[in-house]
Structure 1
Amino acid sequence: MGSFVLKRSLYSIISLVGLLVLVFFLSRLTGDPAALYLPVDAPASVREAFREARGLNDPLIVQFGDFVWNLLHFDFGESLRRQRPAFDVVLEAFPWTLCLAAITMSLVLLGAVVLGSLAAMNVGKSFDRISSVISLAAASAPDFWVALMAIFLFAVALGWVPTSGTGTPWHWILPVAVLFIRPFGLILQVVRGSMITALSSAYVKTARAKGVRQRAITFVHALRNAMLPVITVAGDQAAGLLNGAVVVESVFGFPGIGKLMIDSILQRDFAVVLAAIMITSLAIFIMNLLIDLAYALLDPRIRY
């Protein structure tokens, strides 16, 4: 187990370094920050002083060397827009995305496991057909379209919920609901397929022969063995949510890391972009490692 964790950590570090190198050089292609932060009629000397003070006149390889050196000291530099350490700016936004993702995935797993298991118990019946249609429609729904339609219907037309912000629980309803739809549809289909396989296995037939009730067979015996593929898909969907939920956060004005990254890219705030990618990548790595370790807990036959 220790060698597995060490190997996965090494692979993740290599991937993270490659990602940061790629993003560093690509971000420099977005344009000159001086053109964005200074007035249009600013003198050339002022623009030159602005670039010189922030090392933007140095060759790219020199800028990258300074970035790596600062990164080794956990220093991502200062946010050009906010005049604060970029790392602090990202740490303020990340908990909002983490909380949004945790609430959404908790509801997704609860709903998908229950409905998927019930659908597997009623294969070919009306409940199974309806749940399949709903899950396929949910998995196919584009987030940006659903978000805009939700704002128009529930916020503008009906006035039930606010369009943006985080001040009250009502502000969270639309972002959570929109993020809920796609992973719910995907995971529901996976739960249904896995449960159908598990319910047709030999140990389930033995349990039925012994007189065990159907609910106990489904939610105690079969569900645990059906959870491995579900965990894989759930981990992938959770990583997508942790990756910023960029569209949803931007549409609803949610102050998470996804909206922060979009704003920072548009503002050419390079330090914040790199810090956001670093924090998000580390969170995804830790989550994937925990999912891999959970396999061994659910199925003792798995050994690393």
Structure 2
Amino acid sequence: MRKFLTRRAVASAVSLLVLIVMVFFLSRLTGDPTQLYLPVDASLEARENFRNLHGLNDPLIVQFGRYVGDLLTLDFGDSIRKSRPALDVVIEAFKWTLTLALITMVLVSFAAIVFGALAAFNVGGVFDRIATFFSLIGASAPDFWIAIVAIVLFSVNLGWLPTSGTGTLWHWILPIAVLFIRPFGLILQVVRGSMITALSSPYVKTARAKGVRPRPVIFVHALRNGMLPVITVIGDQAAGMLNGAVVVESIFGFPGVGKLMIDSILQRDFAVVLAAIMVTAFAIFLMNILIDIAYAVLDPRIRY
């Protein structure tokens, strides 16, 4: 197990290093922040002082070397836009994204596994057809369209829920509901397909022949052996949410890391962009480690 996790950690560290190099140099192609933060009629001296203050006059390779050196001391630089440590700005936004993703994925995983397993138990039945129909619709519907329709229906017409913000519990319902639909449809389909294969295996047929009740057959005998592809898809969907549900965060005015990253790119706030990438990548790295541990627990052969 330790060697397995060590190999995965080294591979993730190399990927993170490549990501840092790419984001650092590509972000500089967006332009000079001086053009955004100083007035059009600012003097050449003022522009020169601004560049010197933020280290923008040095060659790119020198800037990169200084940035890597600062990273070794966990110094991510300061936000040009907010005049605060970039890491503090990112952590504040990431807390919102992490909470939103955690709540949504717990609800999605539980619902999709239960409904997918029940649909697979009686393939072609009424419940299976209904579950398949709605899951396919959910997996195909774009988030921005669902979000707009939800706001028009539940906020504008009915007045039940607020349109945006994070002030109360009611503000979380629409963002979570919109984020819930697509992963639910995808994961349910994977659960259903995996469970159909597991339920047709010899050990399940033996359990049924011994008179084991349907619930243990589904959720004890078959589910564990059908969970590996399900965990993969759950991890992929969770990684997408940790990257920041940009569309949902923008439409509902949710102060998450996805919206922060887009705003920082537009404002050429390089320190915040890089800090957001680093924090998000590290969170995904930890999540992948947890997924690998789950693989090894469910199927001990993977450890070797």
TM range (shorter): over 0.9
Deviation at 1:54, TM superposition (A): 0.9
Deviation at 1:183, TM superposition (A): 0.7
- Tell me the equivalent position of 2:243: 243
Matches within 5 A, 1:1-304: 1-304=1-304
SS in 2 for 1:42: coil
Contact (CA 8 Å) 2:4, 2:303: kept in 1 or not? no
Gaps of 5+ in 2: none
Deviation at 1:282, TM superposition (A): 0.5
In structure 1, give the amino acid aligned to 2:73: H
Contact (CA 8 Å) 2:5, 2:292: kept in 1 or not? no
- Cα deviation per residue 1:146-168 (whole Å; 9 max; x = unaligned)? 11221122112221111111111
Deviation at 1:140, TM superposition (A): 1.0
Deviation at 1:299, TM superposition (A): 2.0
Gaps of 5+ in 1: none
CA distance in 2, matches of 1:31, 1:160: 44
In structure 2, give the amino acid aligned to 1:94: F
In structure 2, give the amino acid aligned to 1:293: I
CA distance in 1, matches of 2:205, 2:9: 42
TM-score by length of 2: 0.97
SS in 2 for 1:302: helix
CA distance in 2, matches of 1:14, 1:135: 37
Deviation at 1:264, TM superposition (A): 0.8
In structure 2, give the amino acid aligned to 1:97: T
Deviation at 1:269, TM superposition (A): 0.6
- Cα deviation per residue 1:45-90 (whole Å; 9 max; x = unaligned)? 2111111111111111111111111111111110001111101111
In structure 2, give the amino acid aligned to 1:212: V
TM-score by length of 1: 0.97
CA distance in 1, matches of 2:189, 2:149: 25
Deviation at 1:41, TM superposition (A): 2.1
Q: Which runs of 4+ in 1 moved over 4 A?
A: none
Q: How many residues align?
A: 304
CA distance in 2, matches of 1:143, 1:281: 23
